[in-house]
Amino acid sequence: MSEAVSPVRRVPPAYRWLVLVVISLAMFGNYYVYDSIAPIADMLKADLGFTDSNIGSLYSIYSIAAVIVLLLGGVAVDRYGTVKSTIVFGAFCTIAAVVNALTEDFTVMMVARFLLGLGSEPLIVAITTALAKWFKGRELSFAFGLNLTIARLGSVAADWSPTWAKFAYESWQAPLLVAAAIGALCVLSPLGYGGLEANARRRYGLGDAGETDKFAWGDLFRFDRSFWYVVALCVTFYSAIFPFRSFAIKFFIEAWDMTREAAGQANSVLPLAAMIVTPLFGLLVDKVGRRTQLMFLGAFLLMPVYLLLGYQLLPFGVPIALMGIAFSLIPAVMWPAVAYIVEEKRLGTAYALMTLVQQVGVAGMNWLIGFTNDRSGASVANPGGYVPGMWIFSVLGFLALIFAILLWRADKGPRGHRLDEVKT
């Protein structure tokens, strides 16, 4: 007997790739809105009297909301399905962007960023669930990669907005209005996706999405040391990368004497490099293995970057290139490695836990760097005030290196998972 063809397999490939592009535009808008604060950080300080602690808090409150949502798990997506969930949570993101653009009150901005965090994380869960339904087998990894590429284009577009939307940078508010307009994609894209799915149901008998993985507290005590080393590497690595990006444009303007356009372009190097290089590193590690060694290499490259930037010891391009390589390499190795450490039925819990801990670290570090910059008087008149923050980031890089070494040692032990030997 021949195996029955699943409904999703009866959908023409071009139709499925169209679905991917349409639903991924919500991620583009989401990433753009999240990163829209960084290009105007110095303007918020000059025009509205915000401190660096205030700016850090605008990022931290997003992560706090994300932690709350991750603790709740995928209940809403399971109950209401991917179409309704993406529309509702996408609407949260769009509303948050509009509110953020229409107020100059710090407290209201905090509420808007909290709402963005509440909408963004379940939106990502729902989109991931939708992609899992539409793409199977080998296509799934490539589809996820393309989805992430489109999402990171949102970050690149935000970083480059002082260049392509220079007309808006006469005040702090106009760039946020541009972000609100782009943020409309967060709800328009799911509406388009809903139409495509409804059509597929009529024509191809496409069924509902499978159940979304949920956070399970009971599983926390059954993960081994290797997993926890990966979690520790994850939180130290991302806590050094994302909070740096929160203040990077302001730092480049005030400490490196860059124009706003050049600073935005420099900050875009990380997501731009990751869009191109991360899939290539993924192909490399599939062929050669050596996962723990490559994670060690990425952490090693990251460790000196911030001191090189803070003290301006080498030409600007050198530390930025090192950071770009690390940001492209570690995620390409770290996230897939979990699948070799954790059994399949607990992968959802494992990834939810990693993301939760990551968001806690990012929230705390965004606040800490803002507080440190304020206490050190970091400004265009005192660029040396950024150096203490650079030391904090360097310590995180050093800790990431230690956890990479511990992971390598554990992997070589009797209970290791032989991550360096797995090839496909």
Please spell the DSSP secondary structure of 29-88, one letter per residue: HHHHHHHTSGGGHHHHHHHH---HHHHHHHHHHHHHHHHHHHHHTTHHHHHHHHHHHHHH
Taking the alpha carbons of 29, 189, 174, 62 in that order, is the dihedral positive or negative? negative
Could you give the CA distance from residue 336 to residue 278 in angstroms, rounded to a whole number?
A: 12
Could you give the CA distance from residue 144 to residue 127 in angstroms, rounded to a whole number?
A: 10
pLDDT, greater one: 402 or 140? 402
Would you say residue 273 has pLDDT above 90? Answer: no
Report the pLDDT averaged over residues 160-182. 95
The residue ranges of every structural domain in the chain are 7-212, 215-424
Element (H, E) at 245: helix 225-255
Spacing of C-alpha 241 from chain mean position: 10
This prediction's pTM: 0.81
350-354, 366-370, 398-402: the lowest-pLDDT one: 350-354
pLDDT, greater one: 216 or 33? 33
Would you say residue 287 has pLDDT above 80? Answer: no
Q: How confident is the model at residue 209 (pLDDT cuts 50, 70, 90)?
A: very low
Give percent of the chain above pLDDT 70. Answer: 87
Opening angle at CA 298, ends 423 and 309, nearest 5: 165
On the question of a common fold for 7-212 and 215-424, the answer reads yes
Q: Would you state the pLDDT for residue 210?
A: 43
Determine how many CB atoms are found less than 10 A away from the CB of residue 412. 12
Report the pLDDT averaged over residues 127-151. 73
Report the pLDDT averaged over residues 66-84. 73
Q: What is the mean pLDDT of the chain?
A: 86
What is the CATH code for 215-424? Answer: 1.20.1250.20
- Does residue 378 sit in helix, strand or coil? coil
Report the pLDDT averaged over residues 49-76. 85
Instruction: Output phi, psi for 116, to 5 deg.
Output: -60, -45
Q: Which of 44-53, 127-136, 407-416 has the highest mean pLDDT?
A: 44-53
Residue 121 · residue 69 · CB < 8 Å: yes
Give percent of the chain above pLDDT 90. Answer: 56
Instruction: Write the CA distances from 54 to 109, 293, 410, integer angstroms.
Output: 10, 39, 41
Q: Would you state the pLDDT for residue 344?
A: 62
Residue 264 · residue 159 · CB < 8 Å: yes
Topology (CATH level 3) of domain 7-212? Growth Hormone; Chain: A; (1.20.1250)
Residue 289 · residue 387 · CB < 8 Å: no
Closest CA to 329 of 288, 389, 390: 288
DSSP 314: S
Residue 231 · residue 365 · CB < 8 Å: no
Q: How confident is the model at residue 272 (pLDDT cuts 50, 70, 90)?
A: confident
Report the pLDDT averaged over residues 281-292. 78
Closest CA to 164 of 34, 253, 267, 261: 261
Report the pLDDT averaged over residues 227-236. 92
% helix, strand, coil for the chain, step of 5: 80, 0, 15
Contacts with 395 (C-beta within 8 Å, 6 or more apart), sequence order:
none
Determine how many CB atoms are found less than 10 A away from the CB of residue 304. 17
Spacing of C-alpha 170 from chain mean position: 29
Q: Would you state the pLDDT for residue 137?
A: 47
pLDDT, greater one: 272 or 10? 272
- Does residue 379 sit in helix, strand or coil? strand
